[in-house]
Amino acid sequence: MASPEPASPLILACSPRPGGNCDDAADLFAQALGQGPGFPAPLPVTRLRSFRIAPCLACSACAQPDPSLAWGCPQSARDDSAPLLRALAEAPALCLIAPVFFYHLPSPLKALLDRTQPFWLRKTPFPPRICRVILIAGRPRGKKLFAGSLLTLRYALISLNIRLADPLLLRGLEAPGDLISSRSASQAVLDYGRQAGSCS
């Protein structure tokens, strides 16, 4: 489990499937972003599946935080969420790469977002930041294919003062290797990473 570097951009690949399309997209994005000025190339990619993320229990312990627990959360003593929550709090820029699972985010990413509840409850002040998003779906069409994922990301990240950039939405990528073997999809990810590098 390689924890994200505190001051470096957080590139978080969120699929449970190793070697799938999100992993490939995250590597391409990191490669393209790393070519931007001021970035140490190659940039590290953090794989969410390497971390155990326990669910928010809605216990409200974080409202009266115990300072011995990371973010005042009892679940932080039982899982690996602390370095990821720290990266969400401190990373100067972020990119989340996630598959669509039943029209939404995969459960480990949703669990991580639910665990940002201490920031929401405490109205912690954060500097304004931008999060790029790459969503990957197997279905080639569907008007609302990405709607659920985008809604959750947009609202969950507000408490961290993170705004979503225009997302990159990729369809029709089902099996591992589909993204890499699609010239247009790979190029779209590289362009998205280069564009992120030139605006940072």
Ligand X SMILES: Cc1cc2nc3c(=O)[nH]c(=O)nc-3n(C[C@H](O)[C@H](O)[C@H](O)COP(=O)(O)O)c2cc1C
The site for ligand X (CB under 6 A) is made up of 15, 17, 20-22, 99-103, 136-139, 145, 173-174, 176
Cα angle 10, 30, 133 (rounded to 5 degrees) comes to 60
User: Which pair of tokens denotes residue 112?
Assistant: 């991580």
CA distance 193 to 16: 22
Nearer to ligand X, 153 or 173 (CB): 173
Nearer to ligand X, 102 or 184 (CB): 102
Number of residue whose CB is nearest ligand X: 20
Least separation in angstroms between residue 173's CB and ligand X is: 5
Least separation in angstroms between residue 76's CB and ligand X is: 27
Nearer to ligand X, 86 or 104 (CB): 104
User: Which pair of tokens denotes residue 123?
Assistant: 């109205």
User: What is the per-residue burial (b if ≥16 Cβ within 10 Å, else e) of 157-182?
Assistant: bebbebebbebbbbbebeebebbbeb
Nearer to ligand X, 39 or 103 (CB): 103
Q: How large is the greatest C-alpha to C-alpha distance in the chain, in angstroms?
A: 52
CA distance 127 to 146: 27
Least separation in angstroms between residue 87's CB and ligand X is: 20
Least separation in angstroms between residue 114's CB and ligand X is: 19
- Altogether, the residues listed in the chain come to a count of 200
Least separation in angstroms between residue 6's CB and ligand X is: 26
Nearer to ligand X, 72 or 148 (CB): 148
